[in-house]
Chains A and B, each alone.
Chain A
Amino acid sequence: MNEAITLLFTPQVLFAVSIGTVAGILIGGMPGLTATMAVALLIPTTFSLDPLTGLVLMGGVYCGAMYGGSIPAILLRTPGTPAAIATSLEGYPMTQQGKGGQALKVSVVASFCGGVFSAFILLISAPLLAKFALRFGPPEYFLLALMGLAGIVSLTDEDSSLFKALIGGILGMVIAVVGTDPISGSLRYTFGIRDLYDGVAFMPALIGLFSIIQMLELAGQHKTQVKMTVGKIKREPMPKGMGKFIALGSGVGTVVGVLPGEGATIAAFLSYNVARRFSKLKSLFGKGNPEGIAAAESGNNGCVGGSLVPTLTMGIPGNSVAAALMGGLIIHGLIPGPELFTTHATTTYSFILSLFLANIVFLIVGLTLAPYFARVSLIPPAALIPVVCVFSVIGSYAINNSVFDVFIMLGFAFIGYFLRKGGFSLGALILGLILGPIAETGFAQGMIMGKGSPMIFFERIESQVLWVIILALLLPPLISHYKQHRKHKTNSDLNEAE
């Protein structure tokens, strides 16, 4: 740990944390640009940096973007990231009442507390979980991948989205099968294209699904010129009684973050709803209640550390940003799993500790410069879109120095757009693509261990625990889906009777 601290406090690393966090705030503050996109586009720039500098840069961007989205949400009612939508419900009415300064202060303090709490949980729980993960063999890794997919659907309750999310995940796993067979070494589904021998590259797919689609949709909006002004912001003290809601949001956000597949948007909304339930000022929700901002912001920043727990210990990303960050880890030769806490312990602990620093950086920046950062959301989309597209192209190309990967990016954007319109989950697809190789290797090696019998996936105690978790994640949405189906049927029967 001492070595990790020494490594962290080198000028190069401190500079990377600061730059990453400020860049994250700026990117998070631009509507249409998300934390996933920011981390994904940053990966090629970290190629030539040493692994720790590259990682802290990405960690800083992740923390900064989570907070940055709240600034335009409060001042302009334009959430910079989807996770800041809940914040805008209370933040913008406060700005209209002349309390924008107070809302910004609540937002940055809550984000800081949520971020620090979740980083602390990551610091203490990740090594324990990694030690537990040492007992995992191939069958358990296969089940872990299934658990990651089950996590995606655990909170879906719309009528038909449950099976569409599962289909999305399976599609991702099917795409991951393309390339060289990990057991026989033979080529599968490559159609003679040499660029596919190593499989479908994950980064171009991620950039296509999360960056290009967003740019296409932004271009397709009716108005591409935003005309808004940021009024003068008064500096105001922090309102009293926020501690309870910050604690609530931090806890909910961290737990939601740990669950594979659950993102910061869900964490923010869940924290917001829980806060509304426990608030004594329920009637003020929606009209400018700082309690809502405190819960939502601590919730979405709490998700940061939480999402990195399964990512670092087991290689199961907590959400799409963590998935992008995992891509960065792998590119730097740091394979997620127990080894991160043994062989690469110094780098890993330095990275975790850098998250605390990133939170301090955005606290200082947020308390002093937040209103000025809101102006980045006024950049005309007509100028922003081509620039983001160019960075997306570089990001896709630079991984393998391959123009073919640029076409992969465009292909995923094209197909992903129609899948999204059809209600299929793109998050599930990308998670399936990441988890596919883990699942396949685990399955194949498990079958060899079990001498061809699938019972190997049920015999060991670790496997049985994982099956229980998978069922626990899948059953509630299945029951909710069944109830909704029954309700719809009863309603239509009643309509027919009338």
Chain B
Amino acid sequence: MQKRTLDLIMLAVFIILAVLLYYSTAAFPKFAQKTTANYVRFLALALAIFSVIQLFLTLKSIDYKSKIKWEDNSTRFIGLFVLLVIYAVILGKLGFFTATGLFIPITTWFLGQRNIIVIVLTTLCTLGFIYLVFVKLLGVYLPQGILI
């Protein structure tokens, strides 16, 4: 994808957002109209003005052929993000320690580590550290699920 295309898409989204934001202030309570509603209008106007100026600069830019450099290894990049989303979803259902006990070894393996000892040690040390420091020492409440 060309940088200019991404720029144009994003700026169009910002301009639409600015317009929606501006008109949404009409629904603010009457006594907020001269205070916070005006502040939101100020932000909407600033966002719209800066986006239009940037849109103009992007359209006039001579550097329109340069492409966006995505990550070299997109499989790992996307895979890690998907694993993180799954981790967040199962966190509340299985509990922190079970979810983390699955997330660390799977992710470590997925990112190319094939040494089982490194994977097991990384998982156990991290879980042990979190249990001792966060749960026992600091008393931080971590998500509980159907397991632990």
Q: A383, B140: Cβ atoms under 8 Å?
A: no
A186 pairs with B32, CB closer than 8 A: yes
- B69-92 interface bits toward A, Cβ cutoff 8 Å, 1 = contact, 0 = none: 011111011011100110110011
Question: Chain B's nearest CB lies how many Å from the CB of A160?
Answer: 5
> Which residues from chain A contact B28 at a C-beta distance below 8 Å?
181, 184, 186, 188
A444 with B61: CB separation less than 8 A: no
Q: Is the CB of B47 within 8 A of A181?
A: no
**A458 contacts the other chain (Cβ, under 8 Å)?**
no
Main secondary structure of the interface of B (DSSP, over half): helix
CB < 8 Å: which of B38, B63, B139 contacts A48?
Answer: B139
Do A410 and B85 have beta carbons less than 8 Å apart?
A: yes
What residue in chain B is nearest A380 (Cβ atoms)?
B113
A274 within 8 A of B: no
Q: Which residue of B lies closest to A142 (CB)?
A: B39
Q: How many residues of B contact A (CB 8 A)?
A: 71
Within 8 A of B (CB), among A409-454: 410, 413-414, 418-419, 421-424, 439-440, 443-445, 447-448, 452
User: A33 contacts the other chain (Cβ, under 8 Å)?
Assistant: no
Instruction: List B contacts of A488 (CB < 8 A).
Output: 62
Chain A positions 17 through 51: 1 when the CB is less than 8 Å from some CB of chain B, otherwise 0? 00000000000000000000000000011011100
The reply to whether B140 and A224 contact each other, CB–CB distance below 8 Å, is no
Task: Give Cα A184 to B10, complex, Å.
Answer: 32
Q: Which residue of B lies closest to A48 (CB)?
A: B138
Question: A47 touches which one: B31, B130, B138 (CB < 8 A)?
Answer: B138
Given contacts A48-B139, A163-B53, contact A383 B118 (CB under 8 A): yes
In whole angstroms, what is the CA distance A143 to B36 when docked? 16
User: Which B residues are within 8 Å of any A CB, using their own CB?
Assistant: 3, 6-7, 10, 14, 17, 21, 24, 28-29, 31-32, 34-36, 38-40, 42-44, 46-47, 50-51, 53-54, 57-58, 61-63, 68, 70-74, 76-77, 79-81, 84-85, 87-88, 91-92, 100, 103-104, 107-108, 111-113, 118-119, 122, 126, 130, 133-134, 137-143
Known A-B contacts: A219-B111, A443-B38. Give 15 more (CB < 8 A).
A163-B50, A174-B44, A177-B43, A216-B71, A217-B71, A219-B77, A219-B79, A224-B111, A386-B107, A393-B91, A398-B140, A439-B39, A444-B39, A445-B35, A491-B62
